[in-house]
Amino acid sequence: DRRTPAPWSNIISGRKFGFLVTESGGGYTWANNSREYKLTPWANDPVSDYPGEVFYIKDNEEGCMWSITPMPSGDKEPYTVRHGLGYTVFEHMSYGLEQSLTMFVPVESTVKVCIISLKNLTGKKRDLSVTYYIRPVLGVDEERTSPYIIT
């Protein structure tokens, strides 16, 4: 039931690719230059922490959906977040699932690796979907690039 008073972030990067991730799941991803070539949005706001990238899990039978990180749609169960040198791990247990998200960037690659682990604790077969949502920026800021991005 405790939150940090301000976003607590980890900057993870290789030589030409990286990302910033906060304890709530906010942050952004960039290529080559963290200011000029943002792939997803970032706001330099010391209080709010709006995620531009989210992993959603949906139970297709029950119809419930939540995020694997505390924001934007986490539930009331506790989250454990570990920032380390070159990685961040989110762990959570809810809806009968043990959930883990590990994020890192290989030093010589231009890829963000996100490993999701789900363990069903209910003893029954589950029908789940995992969706990765991003708001693309592809430049310095959304205001300048959004008129030119069609998804």
Mean pLDDT lowest for which of 9-13, 18-22, 73-77?
73-77
Identify the CA nearest to 65 among candidates 125, 132, 126, 130.
130
Instruction: Give the pLDDT mean for 66-79.
Output: 90
- pLDDT category at 33 given cuts 50, 70, 90 is very high
* pLDDT of the residue at 3: 75
Side chain identity at residue 29, one-letter code: T
Q: Each residue of 85-142: pLDDT tens digit?
A: 999 999 999 999 999 999 999 999 999 999 999 999 999 999 999 999 999 999 999 9
- pLDDT category at 31 given cuts 50, 70, 90 is very high
Reply yes or no on whether the pLDDT at 30 is more than 70.
Answer: yes
- pLDDT category at 2 given cuts 50, 70, 90 is confident
**Mean of per-residue pLDDT scores for the chain:** 93
Instruction: Tell if the pTM clears 0.85, that is, is over it.
Output: yes
Are 19 and 28 a contacting pair, CB within 8 Å? yes
Reply yes or no on whether the pLDDT at 47 is more than 90.
Answer: no
The CA-CA-CA angle for residues 139, 44, 8, to 5°, reads 120
Identify the CA nearest to 59 among candidates 91, 94, 101, 100.
94
Q: In what order do the strands lie in the sheet with 17-22?
A: 9-13, 17-22, 27-31
* pLDDT of the residue at 101: 98
